[in-house]
Amino acid sequence: MKWWKEGVVYQIYPRSFSDSNNDGIGDIRGIIAHLDDLSDLGVDVLWLSPVYPSPNADYGYDISDYKSIHKDYGTMDDMMELIHESEKRNIKIVMDLVINHTSDEHEWFKMSRDPESPYRDYYYWRPGKESGPPNNWTSFFAEGCWEYDEVSGEYYMHLFGAKQPDLNYHNPKVVDEIKGVMKFWLEKGVSGFRCDVINIIYKTSLEDGKMKLVLTGSEHYLAQEGAHDILRTLRKDVLSGFDCFTVGETVFVTPEMGKDLCDESRKELDMIFSFEHMETDQFIVKWFKRKFNPKRFADVLFKWQESIEWNANYLENHDQPRSVSRFGDDQNFWKPSAKMLATCLLTLKGTPFIYQGQEIGMTNYGFTKLNQIKDIETHSVVAFAKNLRIPQWYLWSMIRKNSRDNARTPYQWNSKDNAGFSEHEPWILVNPNYLMINRENQEKDPGSVLSYYKMMIRLRKENQVLIEGEFIPLKASKTLMIYQRKLGKQLWTIVLNFSNRSVKYQNEGKIIISNYGDEHIFGMLKPFESAVYDNSHI
Ligand code: TEU
Ligand code: CA
């Protein structure tokens, strides 16, 4: 079994993890200072959201230099120390690879502004049409995706913000540059990459798209053959020479597209993050939420478990609201629902990805004012909503539930000022519930969410059935999600109660773990109870 299949990955959003020099911004030395805590949790791999130089239009997802470290986060020496200190604890480091676009402050882009420059063709520069931009595509951040440049009299394309110009993958020089970036980090000792929006990097043509409610134009760049070719090239020419893995962030994928990206035989990616389970509580776009329906959620997870050989499983990341606020109940059943979600994540087949703070049950923030929000996506949507005349109360209910900043508030270490994240006012607001929800409290409490995560991670490590075992879906209903894992004669049943009511449930097997611990009652599941049973017939 490969190490990245047996391991548990922990995602760090460095800006909000821990601030070592008290300037209000999390940094690499802050991560080093907490490596023992991470090793104690039992995680094997750390994926760092971008730590490269960036003007922070999209907080690091707009890179201006792929081969160095943002001064906010430290130096290359700090990075090397992080790699070595992690290694001592058997922890590997994985970097975020954001190659669909660069920052407009990247040297390549600056040079490309000159039509005569050899860098012109690194990006998509095109003359406009009489009526305006070169085509009718729309961007992920709810605006147009062409920006006019006075200097050269042409437009450049950006599928995300205007400060995030898309790279042109028709140009072999771009592919060579990216190979160089990957080699650079692998030679420094990193063990792989999380590849940002990797299934949209290749634009087959720039013709007008079919008009759609979202992402007009996507048929020209979603999962194109060109992207598959590039992934195979990167694998063959770079990745295959190292002991590493890749996980692709792949937007709008179906299981069929997913297979073509990460099936072993394809030699492209090792795993992908799909989005479908995260879209079960929305209409068309995430801003229009509908009531969370456990059945819809479980059906989608079952479908992916059955169609993809090895999934990258996640319930949270830096783009998503907190899972306990979204799929659980952060008011009345905060603790059991946070633990139940841990059971789910750590018993599905595939590599589990825990997002910082999830292991202590951090919750959404409850934003009320625009000046509390840092995220470009929320600001773009607010601007867009103005044109649509969406009423304020509705707009704010959308923001509170969906803003990506819900996941980006500082990590809650203890009950000291600023949750122990920094002695300086943090770059983004701390969730006031840190007095109740913080790591230090939970460290001492065997019944805490944190202690439960540690137990579940250990259970997974000690029982191969949770890693290699076949996945067998049993039931998806409004209240219950039930599935089994089977390896040889071993058969385990996992039961998750997604409701705030007690439910009758009989299982003949021996109980292995319940998130209610000693309070578990035979024949019954309490609100948000999860239970793992041993049904092996040996
Ligand atoms: O996210 C890709 C992406 O599709 C998001 O814009 C997603 O639609 C949105 O976050 C859902 O709320 C990746 C990164 O994870 C994200 O942080 C970046 O902003 C984006 O790419 C551009 O690099
Ligand atoms: Ca700092």
Model confidence over 455-475: pLDDT tens digits? 999 999 999 999 999 999 999
Report the half-sphere exposure of 415 (CA within 13 A, side-chain side). Answer: 8
pLDDT of residue 388: 87
Please tell me whether residues 439 and 478 are part of one structural domain. no
How many Cβ atoms are within 10 Å of 423's Cβ, its own excluded?
Answer: 13
Shared domain for 87 and 50, answered yes or no, is yes
∠ CA 298-302-303 to the nearest 5 degrees?
120
Domain CATH code at residue 149? 3.90.400.10
Among 128, 157, 186, the domain-final residue is 157
pLDDT at 284: 86
Q: Domain tally for the chain?
A: 3
- How far, in Å, CA of 174 to CA of 146, rounded? 20
Return the SS3 of 157: strand
Torsion of CA 104, 107, 112, 116, to 10 degrees: 160
Report pLDDT digits (tens) over 343-382: 999 999 999 999 999 999 999 999 999 999 999 999 999 9
Same domain, 41 and 153: no
Boundary of a domain, candidates 157, 180, 199: 157
Distance 225 CA to ligand 1 centre (A): 22
Residues with Cβ within 8 Å of 332's Cβ and at least 6 positions away in sequence, in order, are 500
Separation of alpha carbons 271 and 264, rounded Å = 9
* Residue 392 counted as domain residue: no
Q: Whole-prediction pTM value?
A: 0.98
Residue 455 CB neighbour total at 10 angstroms: 18
Torsion of CA 12, 15, 16, 18, to 10 degrees: 80
Residue with tokens 């991470």: 38
Residue 274 contacts residue 250 (beta carbons within 8 Å): yes
Q: Which atom of ligand 1 is nearest to the CA of 317?
A: 15
Atom nearest to 58 CA in ligand 1: 19
Same domain? 181 vs 324: yes
Distance 428 CA to ligand 2 centre (A): 13
The pocket of ion ligand 2, defined by CB under 5 A, consists of: 19, 21, 23, 25, 27
State whether 142 and 223 are in the same domain.
no
Same domain, 194 and 224: yes
Residue to mutate (ligand 1; options 194, 197, 247; most atoms within 8 A of CB): 197
Residue 222 belongs to some domain of the structure: yes
What type of residue is 534? D
Ligand nearest to the CA of 70: 2
* Ligand 1 atom closest to Cα of residue 98: 23
Assess whether 445 carries a catalytic annotation: no
pLDDT confidence of residue 440: 98
Residue with tokens 């095109």: 126
Question: Residue 536 is encoded by which pair of tokens?
Answer: 């092996």
Ligand 1 atom 18: residue of nearest CA:
61
Which residue, by CA, sits nearest to atom 9 of ligand 1? 319
Q: Is 141 part of a structural domain of the chain?
A: yes
Q: Which of 15, 95, 160 to mutate to test the pocket of ligand 1 (most atoms within 8 A of CB)?
A: 160
> Are residues 133 and 211 both part of a single domain?
no
CB 329 within 8 A of CB 352: no
| Chain centroid to CA 174 | 26
Beta bridge partners of 101: 166
Domain range holding 121?
107-157
Q: What residues are in contact with ligand 1 under a 6 Å CB criterion?
A: 58, 61, 98, 140, 160, 196-197, 249, 251, 286, 318-319, 377, 404
- Output the DSSP codes for 241-267: GSS-EEEEE-TT--HHHHHHHH-GGG-
Residue 269 lies inside a defined structural domain of this protein: yes
Closest protein CA for atom 6 of ligand 1: 140
Q: What is the atom index within ligand 1 of the atom nearest the CA of 160?
A: 22
Distance, in Å, from the CA atom of 121 to the CA atom of 116, rounded to the nearest integer, reads 10
Residue having the nearest C-alpha atom to atom 4 of ligand 1: 251
Q: Which helix (H) or strand (E) holds 337?
A: helix 334-347
**161 Cα nearest atom in ligand 1:** 22
Residue nearest to atom 11 of ligand 1 (CA): 319
- For residues 507 and 530, the answer to whether their CB atoms sit within 8 Å is no
Same domain? 300 vs 443: yes
User: 295 and 206 in one domain?
Assistant: yes
Q: Which stretches of the chain drop beneath a pLDDT of 50?
A: none
d(CA 351, CA 355): 13
Q: How many CB atoms lie within 10 A of CB 153?
A: 11
Tell me 105's DSSP state: T
Alpha carbons 273 and 197: distance in angstroms, whole number: 10
Residue 242 lies in a domain: yes
Whether residue 404 lies inside any domain: the answer is no
Q: Active-site residue among 27, 154, 249, 529?
A: 249
Sheet holding 510-514, edge to edge: 470-476, 480-487, 490-497, 530-534, 510-514
| C-alpha 243 – ligand 2 centre gap (Å) | 32
**How high is the mean pLDDT of the chain?**
97
Annotate 112-147 with DSSP letters as a single string. Answer: HTSTTSTTGGGB-EEPPBTTBSSS--B-TTSSBSEE
Q: Is 387 exposed, middle or buried (0-12, 13-18, 19+ CB in 10 A)?
A: exposed
Nearest ligand to residue 422 Cα? 2
CB 363, CB 334: distance < 8 Å: yes
Q: 78 catalytic, yes or no? A: no
For position 21, which CATH number holds? 3.20.20.80
Rounded Cα distance between 457 and 41, Å, is 8
Closest residue by Cα to atom 14, ligand 1, is 196
What does the pLDDT read at residue 538?
67
DSSP strands (E only) in 4-121: 9-12, 45-48, 92-97
Q: Please indicate, yes or no, whether residues 235 and 341 belong to a single structural domain of this protein.
A: yes
Q: What is the dihedral of CA 400, 402, 406, 407, to 10 degrees?
A: 170
Q: Is 29 within 8 Å of 78 (Cβ atoms)?
A: yes
Q: From CA 185, how far away is CA 242, in angstroms rounded?
A: 11
**For ligand 1, what atom is nearest to the CA of residue 141?**
6
Which ligand has its closest atom nearest to the C-alpha of 378?
1
CATH number of domain containing 493: 2.60.40.1180
Kindly give, in sequence order, each residue whose CB lies less than 8 Å from that of residue 449, ignoring residues fewer than 6 positions away.
Answer: 335, 338, 339, 342, 359, 360, 361, 442
Domain co-membership, 67 together with 204? yes
Is residue 147 domain-shared with residue 127, that is, in the same domain? Answer: yes
Of 166, 196, 281, 529, which one is the catalytic site residue? 196
In 3D space, the residue among 259, 200, 191 whose CA is nearest the CA of residue 230 turns out to be: 200
Which ligand number lies closest to the CA of residue 29? Answer: 2
Let me know if residue 342 belongs to a domain: yes
pLDDT tens by residue, 276-310: 999 999 998 899 999 999 999 999 999 999 999 99
Please, is 35 exposed, middle or buried when counting C-beta atoms within 10 Å of its C-beta (0-12, 13-18, 19+)? middle
User: What SS3 class is residue 196?
Assistant: coil
Asked whether residue 427 is assigned to any structural domain, the reply reads no
